[in-house]
Amino acid sequence: MAQKHIPDLFVSTENIRALSGLNPARSLFALFMEWLVIALAISLHIYFPNPIVYFLVWVLIGSRMYGLYSLLHDGMHFLLYPNRTVNDWLCRLLMAWPLFLSLEKVRSAHMAHHKYLKTDQDPESVHGHYDEFQFPKTPGSLTLIFLKDLTGFNFLFYKLKKGIRLAGEIKNGTLKMSPEPGRLLFYTIAASVLIYQGWEIKFLLYWLIPYATIYQALNRLRLSTEHFHIPQEKLLQTRTVKLNPIEQVIFSPHNLGFHAEHHLYPGVPFYRLPELHKILTGTNSFEENVVVNTSYVDVIKKYIK
């Protein structure tokens, strides 16, 4: 599918220059707060070890992992810190590697997504070949997909499929590895500390389980709604979801929902996207060619047949 021509959505050079200015203190504070909430959530359950508290901690940690991914998204565009070396090491050590991601790989895929949006060269276009990304769906089908995410079933299923594929590549001699010694060292040190301290169960409870469930479900919600099931007449095949502050904390941390604005001006950091949105909504072209929703409930309703 070839992307249609996107009309110019004019924002003055002066405004874009002002909006694109980096304030690393805001990014670092946001990153600090994400890790602080994770640490406090873990401490809460350690001091009050009961199922109700764990349920709260499960949701909190999974959603804050999603918050880390949102900040990583800015880091892919070198928007967290003016010095690119510092930017990338912050991303690796405090976001990408803890989320079992390679900064280089996700950045390469994300930049290709921007360059080839909604074309066959867009890395995200592969999802359109799978039934779970065909919308609209019946309420039961949609509910089942998210239940499989929230129970970890989908995570284990996808990892098993990936393991079988990698085993086949090893057998055929076609496996291509990109060595990342820093990432390997990070995991080696982390595993050594966990084993030495006897924290294997804690790692399972406070990291692996939220990662395999809540974090995966939130990522699916984002991936399924950013570019899928958008009317063909909308030339920018991208959805913005503008939420209230409470919804934002869980479903769209750090203004991740302002996705159309991000695609139009990817050099604008997360903390200035609401201001960019206000400027763009004053143009007829934006209102005519971008889907804007004010809640995920509204979005999901459109995904149900």
The pLDDT confidence band at residue 11, using thresholds 50, 70 and 90, is confident
Residue 259 pLDDT more than 70?
yes
The pLDDT confidence band at residue 3, using thresholds 50, 70 and 90, is very low
pLDDT at 164: 77
Residue 103 pLDDT more than 90?
yes
36-74 pLDDT, tens digit per residue, is 999 999 999 999 999 999 999 999 999 999 999 999 999
pLDDT at 1: 40
The pLDDT confidence band at residue 2, using thresholds 50, 70 and 90, is very low
CA atoms lying within 13 Å on the CB side of residue 295: 6
The pLDDT confidence band at residue 288, using thresholds 50, 70 and 90, is confident
Q: 95-101 contacts: CB < 8 A, separation 24 or more?
A: 95/31, 95/68, 95/69, 95/71, 96/72, 97/183, 97/186, 97/187, 98/68, 99/65, 99/68, 99/69, 99/72, 99/211, 99/215, 100/211, 101/72
**Euclidean distance between CA atoms 278 and 229, whole angstroms:** 24
120-131 pLDDT, tens digit per residue, is 888 888 887 888
Rounded percentage of the chain residues whose pLDDT exceeds 90: 64
**Euclidean distance between CA atoms 32 and 99, whole angstroms:** 16
**Euclidean distance between CA atoms 225 and 238, whole angstroms:** 9
Mean pLDDT of 17-27: 95
The pLDDT confidence band at residue 166, using thresholds 50, 70 and 90, is low
- Angle of CA points 137, 235, 290, to nearest 5°: 70
Residue 191 pLDDT more than 70?
yes
Q: Which residue has the higher pLDDT, 148 or 3?
A: 148
The answer to whether the peptide bond before residue 136 is cis (omega within 30 degrees of 0) is yes
Question: Which of 3-12, 191-200, 227-236 has the largest mean confidence?
Answer: 191-200
**Euclidean distance between CA atoms 205 and 53, whole angstroms:** 12
114-165 pLDDT, tens digit per residue, is 998 888 888 888 887 888 888 899 999 999 999 999 999 999 988 887 777 7
**Euclidean distance between CA atoms 104 and 226, whole angstroms:** 22
DSSP state of 25: H
The answer to which of 105-119, 153-167, 269-283 has the lowest mean pLDDT is 153-167
**Euclidean distance between CA atoms 25 and 192, whole angstroms:** 33
E runs forming strands in 8-135 = none
Q: What is the mean pLDDT of the chain?
A: 90
- Max CA distance (Å), the chain: 61
Mean pLDDT of 102-112: 95
pLDDT at 233: 80
Number of helices (H), then strands (E), belonging to the chain: the values are 16, 2
